[in-house]
Amino acid sequence: MADKASPTGPAACPSTRAEPGTSLLGVVQADGRVHYLKDRLEIDQEFIDVASRDGPLEQRFRFAGTCVECACKQWDGAKCRVIETVSSFLPPDDDGAPLHPCSIRPTCRWYRQAGPSACRICPLVRTEIV
Amino acid sequence: MLFHLLKTKSIFCQPWEDNFMSNTQRDAETNRRTLIAAVAAAGAAVPLMTASAKAASGTDDDQRCGSTGLKPGPRFVVDIGGVDIPPDMAEVLGAQIRKMVLMTLARSGMKVPVYEGGLPPYWYGLVVNQAVMLEIKKKEMPGK
């Protein structure tokens, strides 16, 4: 799918690793979905230290940072493969429901590539270490 | 604080930002600084931190950020009304509130088993929560 937003500046990765300076994008809740913060909240080392006590951060939270493109294994040279892959799990048509609040949507890499359909599957995505 | 927050647009909910900007002129005229530090939640425990020259109006989340279809979570508002405080103190207050929200969220995350090792370098692995996905598919395609 073509880019939905005119790329201005670097894109934001909606599922980056927890590192000081990245933003807390959302929290995985009991229903298994990610629930999103409406505004950017930058994390620091103290957040990482405290939140790490109950398990791997990336499985319980989602973090946003700058898309590093070719420095990431998910980058195919022109786009992020993740959203293409996960989008194939859901019907392509949108149901017209309002999108959830999101602090990075205007610059989100996935949104740029797949538009609102990326936002519909995004709450189901989390990092898993197996 | 007022001017500092104007520079840090990212902490604003967009519709509020519009309100904020439109009130800047009025704020300058009255020479009042009003700080509203709000912590809001949408869905479950989602914080909102914002500041505005406009007093808290009780506007609900749906009006500000669009309907999400999710049950709104708790919302906490600290409103110091027309009290004038030095910008540097207001900045510290904002940072403290932001920090408290962050640490509360850090402690609120679900507990999951700890795996040794963590993500390999340069790997940003992701998976889809298949259990939730299957539920959605059942609802959207009941005949299949």
- The mean pLDDT value for A74-101 works out to 76
> Dihedral (C-alpha) A102, A104, A109, A110: value to the nearest 10 degrees?
0
Q: Quick one: which H or E segment has residue A63?
A: strand A61-66
CB neighbour list of residue B116: distance below 8 Å, 6 or more residues apart? none
Name the residue among A24, A59, A72 with its Cβ closest to that of B112: A59
Answer yes or no: do A56 and B114 touch at CB < 8 A.
yes
| E strand spans, B10-129 | 36-39, 76-79, 127-128
Q: If you average pLDDT over each of A31-35, A94-98, B98-102, which comes out highest?
A: B98-102
pLDDT of residue A25: 93
pLDDT of residue B138: 61
Chains A, B: CB contacts within 8 A come to 165
pLDDT of residue A9: 77
The distance of B40 to chain A (nearest Cα, Å) reads: 9
- The band of A24, judged by pLDDT with boundaries at 50, 70 and 90, is very high
pLDDT of residue A95: 63
Is the pLDDT reported for residue A31 higher than 60? yes
pLDDT of residue A54: 81
Answer yes or no: do B44 and A29 touch at CB < 8 A.
yes
Residue B112 with chain A: CB contacts under 8 Å: 54-56, 59-60
The distance of B25 to chain A (nearest Cα, Å) reads: 25
CB neighbour list of residue B58: distance below 8 Å, 6 or more residues apart? none
- Read off the tokens for A61: 């939270």
CB atoms < 10 A from the CB of A34, how many?
A: 24
SS3 of residue B14 by DSSP? helix
Residue A82: burial class (beta carbons within 10 Å; 0-12, 13-18, 19+): buried
CA distance A1 to A92: 11
Q: A41-83, pLDDT tens digit by residue? A: 999 999 999 998 887 787 789 999 999 888 887 888 999 888 8
pLDDT of residue B82: 83
- The mean pLDDT value for A83-110 works out to 79
The distance of A85 to chain B (nearest Cα, Å) reads: 10
SS3 of residue B13 by DSSP? coil
Answer yes or no: do A41 and B123 touch at CB < 8 A.
no
Residue in the structure block whose two tokens are 């294994």:
A73
pLDDT of residue A21: 93
CB neighbour list of residue A100: distance below 8 Å, 6 or more residues apart? A35, A36, A119, A123, B42, B43, B68, B70
What number is the ipTM of this complex? 0.78
- Read off the tokens for A22: 């990245």
> Dihedral (C-alpha) B29, B33, B34, B39: value to the nearest 10 degrees?
130
Answer yes or no: do A44 and B132 touch at CB < 8 A.
no
pLDDT of residue A127: 66
**% of chain A exceeding 90 in pLDDT:** 32
- Read off the tokens for A119: 């936002």
- The band of A99, judged by pLDDT with boundaries at 50, 70 and 90, is confident
Give the number of residues written for chain B. 144
Answer yes or no: do B117 and A129 touch at CB < 8 A.
yes
Is the pLDDT higher at A92 or at A115?
A115
Answer yes or no: do A99 and B103 touch at CB < 8 A.
no
Q: What pLDDT tens digit does each residue of chain B (144 aa) get?
A: 333 333 333 333 333 333 333 444 434 333 323 233 323 222 222 222 222 222 233 334 433 434 444 566 667 777 788 888 898 998 898 889 889 989 999 988 776 654 455 544 544 445 555 555 565 556 555 554
B contact test, residue of A108, A127, A129 with most B CBs within 10 A? A129
Answer yes or no: do A56 and B43 touch at CB < 8 A.
no
| E strand spans, chain B | 36-39, 76-79, 127-128
